[in-house]
Amino acid sequence: MKFSIKMSSMEFYGYTGCLPEEKENGQIFIIDCEMMFDELPGAVNDRLEDTVDYSKVYEVIKDITENNCFDLIEHLAYEIAGKVLETDGLIREVRIRVSKPDAPIDGVFGAMEAEITRSRED
């Protein structure tokens, strides 16, 4: 059996961006996180202590997004993925998508996004 837990459309206010006004004023980022597992005992035995505490994962993502200032959303995604993998030994692989709906581009778009998949072997 393979399992995944998805955390979607988490909204944070952060300061990642190349332009000085992005670093100074900040903007909204929307983060999706999917954690993959080879085994997840809690799915079988219904015990909270045998699964990933996604409230802790949420706090990790929130902290990195709100308290760091990177140039690129690609790097933000990379950093988040690494820290999520460190959160719990059950997590085999993680996929992170960072969406930047207010990117400073003159045009009509939903969001600019970066996505990364990292595993323990990376």
Residues designated catalytic:
100
Sequential DSSP letters for the chain: --EEEEEEEEEEEE---SSHHHHHH-EEEEEEEEEEES--HHHHH--GGGS--HHHHHHHHHHHHHH---S-HHHHHHHHHHHHHHH-TT--EEEEEEEETT-S-SS--S-EEEEEEEETT-
